[in-house]
A and B are shown apart, each in its own frame.
Chain A
Amino acid sequence: MFLLIATLLKFIFFGLVFAIGLAAVLTWMERRQSAYSQDRLGPTRAHFFKIGGKPFTLFGLLHIAADGASMFFKEPVTPKNADKFLFKIAPLIGWTTALVTLALIPFGPSLPSSVFPASWIPEGVETIYLQMAHVDSGILIVLAIGSLGVYGAAIGGWASNNRFALLGGLRATAQSVSYEVALGLTLVGILMAYGSTELGSIVESQNGLLFGFLPAWGLFIQPLGAVLFFIAATAETKRTPFDMPEGESEIIGYFLEYSSMQFGLFMLGEFLEIVVLGALFTTLFLGGWQFPHLIGTDSVSVFGLFTWNGPVAVAVSGTLVFCVKTFFVCSLQLQLRWTLPRFRYDQVMRLGWKTLLPLALINIFVTAGLIWWDPTLSILSYVSIGIILLFVLVVIAGPRRPPQVAHGH
């Protein structure tokens, strides 16, 4: 009974409040953040009342409520020749897979059961994991479930009985299948380095420091893997620059026939996928809830100014750190959309099969060699830090094309 209630509470906090809440906030951030990086103001209009003559807009956050209300009160139209049943359930498939993936992600350090009154705890339970499902094959399930997510788009496109929607669904399928391969292969390096498929223990293995100051996160051991994973994950979320399935300017996308809240579910489901992949990236490459210098094994201290002891302190601050990291990864994904132009369809396929796949394979072999050479991972981390420094150097000092001068006139 206790475990059931605990799982329910975890779901309410992590699934409903954090993940879906962040997905809703992302619909606002998508507009607001893009506005701020393009020197615009973005959404500022929605408000119910005025304070001191100025509309109370809450930084535009009320737009989320306005959009929700707007979608809710519109008529859901089902096309005449659509497959009624599949048409209805298609938006939910993406949601289901996203939420199932969330269940496997550890959002905080595990609590010893001594924190709770002894009478609550069933026999033999020693740790309470801040993770809805503590499954040994965690990452494999994540990949398996994640690849089911595309069924939502594919079925939605097919059930609409519309050529363009079908095209969108097909594109989503092709793209998802192509990048699934790279997505899985980039994780092999992480699996080899940490020797576990359970997400909680992958996070546990990312404690400690490299060179005395750098956190020993997956990013600093598998930089290439992290970048490839991020690219493949962006392609999986079907976002710009990989928004072929949507293709607003050409085929509108697999949700072409969807209206009102059915469309809203697709839309919010896409943002939920961003949150899930952000959380997954945080777990695998950004040390999950770990934050060295700040969160110790049984105490939290902010540069010695403020300390808070006990496992509850670690759990609360670890959860907070995880949420903040996830937020920043999501924010980076939005920023990428407003930085890059779209790919062409053939470019997407070429990038997936001819670039990401070989690079992922090279990454596996090099990582395997380095781990075989030195199982303590220190050589791997030297090489990785070297790669990161080289990349930064190239970005700073790389050749720049002189600005194009307009001809004529």
Chain B
Amino acid sequence: MAIRVRERVEFSAYERSYLPEIARGLTVTVGHLVSNLAALIPLDPFRQRRTLEDRTVRYPEERRVYPPRYRGQHRLLPREDGSPRCVACYMCATACPAYCIHIIAAESTDPKIEKYPAAFEIDLLRCVFCGFCVEACPEDAIRMDTGVHTPPFDARDDAVLGRVDLMSLLGRPGTEPAYGAQNYREKKPRGS
């Protein structure tokens, strides 16, 4: 990597005299102050300035809708019979850069399915919400389309979501992933 020497900024005598620059700085901040105050005066029918009140999203009461591709909390998708689609292949856990997915595979009772996750845990304190697990999954069993961001925890254990928690979440309507969704089909059981 090339070393780049950044030139030191030498201030001119004019800048070092400080006062004109302070005056200019004040014009910036006072300009914002005045324009925000002026927007409060309902005497401005032509320019229709938006007041700060209009421009502010008051978070806990008002929430901005997240964009469709927002990577929110993970969920595990079910099959039609309610069992997880996950086949415990460990591809998501392998792809995970934060090592936050822990899977314990078990043999499925369904003869057509090889394995299922006896435990599937995501440690949200470790998760970096990169979405690699979603891309790695060959079964489209994990998605991050809930639109929910991580809730606050008051205990470390609460941050570890198990299989039941992950399957209880629903996807937001209209947020089906653009990739993979069209190609995905409910797999026909082998041999039929």
Given A407-B4, A408-B4: A335 and B33 interface contact (C-beta under 8 Å): yes
A44: chain B residues at CB < 8 Å are 58
Is A13 located at the chain interface by the 8 A CB criterion? no
Q: When chains A and B are docked, how far (Å) is the Cα of A391 from the Cα of B17?
A: 12
Q: Is A340 an interface residue (CB 8 A)?
A: yes
Whether A391 and B32, one on each chain, are in contact in the complex, defined by CB atoms closer than 8 angstroms, is no
Interface residues of A in 58-114 (CB under 8 A from B): none
Residue B56 is within 8 A (CB to CB) of chain A in the complex: yes
Residue from A335, A395, A401 in contact with B20 in the complex, judged by beta carbons closer than 8 Å: A395
Minimum distance in angstroms from A226 CB to a CB of chain B:
12
Contact call B14/A399, Cβ cutoff below 8 A? yes
Contact A391 B26 (CB under 8 A): no
Interface bin, chain A: 20 to 34
Complex interface residues of chain A between 317 and 340 (CB less than 8 A to chain B)? 335-336, 338-340
Residues of chain A within 8 A (CB-CB) of B4 are 407-408
CB of B107 within 8 Å of the partner chain: no
A344 at interface, CB cutoff 8 A: no
Residue B52 CB within 8 A of the other chain: yes
Q: Which one of A36, A38, A227 has the greatest number of beta carbons of chain B within 10 Å? A: A36
Measured between beta carbons, the chain B residues less than 8 angstroms from A38 are 29, 32
> Are A394 and B20 in contact, CB atoms less than 8 angstroms apart?
yes
CB-CB under 8 A from B30, the residues of chain A are 37, 335
Total A-B Cβ pairs within 8 A: 56
Q: Given B14, B19, B36, B53, which contacts A227 in the complex, CB threshold below 8 Å?
A: B19
Instruction: Mark A334-370 against chain B: 1 for CB-CB distance below 8 A, else 0.
Output: 0110111000000000000000000000000000000
Do the beta carbons of B26 and A36 come within 8 Å of each other? no
Chain A, range 24-63, C-beta contacts under 8 Å to B = 33, 36-41, 44
Q: Which chain B residues (1-50) contact chain A, with CB distance < 8 Å?
A: 4, 6, 12, 14-15, 19-20, 22-30, 32-33, 36-37
Distance of A40 Cα from B57 Cα, bound (Å): 11
B19 touches A391 (CB 8 A): yes
With A335-B33, A336-B26, A339-B29 already in contact, the answer to whether A36 and B52 are too (CB < 8 A) is yes
CB-CB under 8 A from B36, the residues of chain A are 36-37, 39
In the complex, are the beta carbons of B22 and A39 less than 8 A apart?
Answer: no
Instruction: Indicate with 1 or 0, residue by residue over B123-159, a CB within 8 angstroms of chain A CB atoms.
Output: 0000000000000000000000000000000000000
CA distance A236 to B89 in the complex (A): 70
A57 to B120, CA, bound (A): 48
Residues of B within 8 A of A40 (CB): 52, 56
B33 touches A401 (CB 8 A): no
Interchain CB contact under 8 A, A37 and B29: yes
**SS class, residues of chain A in contact with chain B:** loop
A398 on interface, CB distance cutoff 8 Å: yes
A407 to B53, CA, bound (A): 37
Is the beta-carbon distance between B6 and A36 smaller than 8 angstroms?
A: no
- Is the beta-carbon distance between B33 and A407 smaller than 8 angstroms? no
B20 touches A37 (CB 8 A): no
With both chains docked as a complex, state the minimum distance between the C-beta of B14 and any C-beta of chain A, in angstroms.
6
**A297 to B179 alpha-carbon distance, docked (Å):** 82
- Determine if B32 and A37 form an interchain contact, defined as CB atoms under 8 angstroms apart: yes
Contacts of B37 in A (CB 8 A): 36
Contact A399 B12 (CB under 8 A): yes
- Residues in B neighbouring A36, C-beta threshold 8 A: 32-33, 36-37, 52
Q: Tell me if A335 and B26 are in contact (CB < 8 A).
A: yes
Which B residue's beta carbon lies closest to that of A393? B20
- Across the interface, which residues of A come within 8 angstroms of B26, CB to CB? 335-336, 339
B residues less than 8 Å from A339 (CB atoms): 22, 25-26, 28-29
Most buried by B among A37, A227, A338: A37
Report the separation of the CA atoms of residues A310 and B19 in the bound assembly, to the nearest whole angstrom.
Answer: 43
Which of A41, A338, A391, A399 is B29 in contact with, Cβ under 8 Å? A338
Distance of A227 Cα from B26 Cα, bound (Å): 14
* Contact string against B for A residues 376-409, beta-carbon threshold 8 Å, 1 for contact and 0 otherwise: 0000000000000001001100110100000110
Contact partner of B52 among A41, A338, A408, CB < 8 A? Answer: A41
Q: For residue A408, which residue of chain B has the nearest CB? A: B4
Q: Given A36-B33, A398-B14, list of 15 further CB < 8 A pairs?
A: A33-B33, A36-B37, A37-B29, A39-B55, A40-B52, A41-B53, A335-B26, A336-B22, A340-B22, A391-B19, A391-B20, A391-B23, A394-B20, A395-B27, A408-B4
B residues contacting A by CB (< 8 A) are 4, 6, 12, 14-15, 19-20, 22-30, 32-33, 36-37, 52-53, 55-56, 58
The 3 closest A-B pairs by CB, nearest first: A37-B33, A37-B29, A36-B36
Q: Which residues of A contact B (CB under 8 A)?
A: 33, 36-41, 44, 227, 335-336, 338-340, 391, 394-395, 398-399, 401, 407-408
Q: List 18 A-B contacts (CB under 8 A).
A: A37-B29, A41-B53, A41-B56, A227-B19, A335-B33, A336-B22, A339-B22, A339-B26, A340-B22, A391-B19, A394-B20, A395-B20, A395-B24, A398-B20, A399-B12, A407-B4, A407-B6, A408-B4
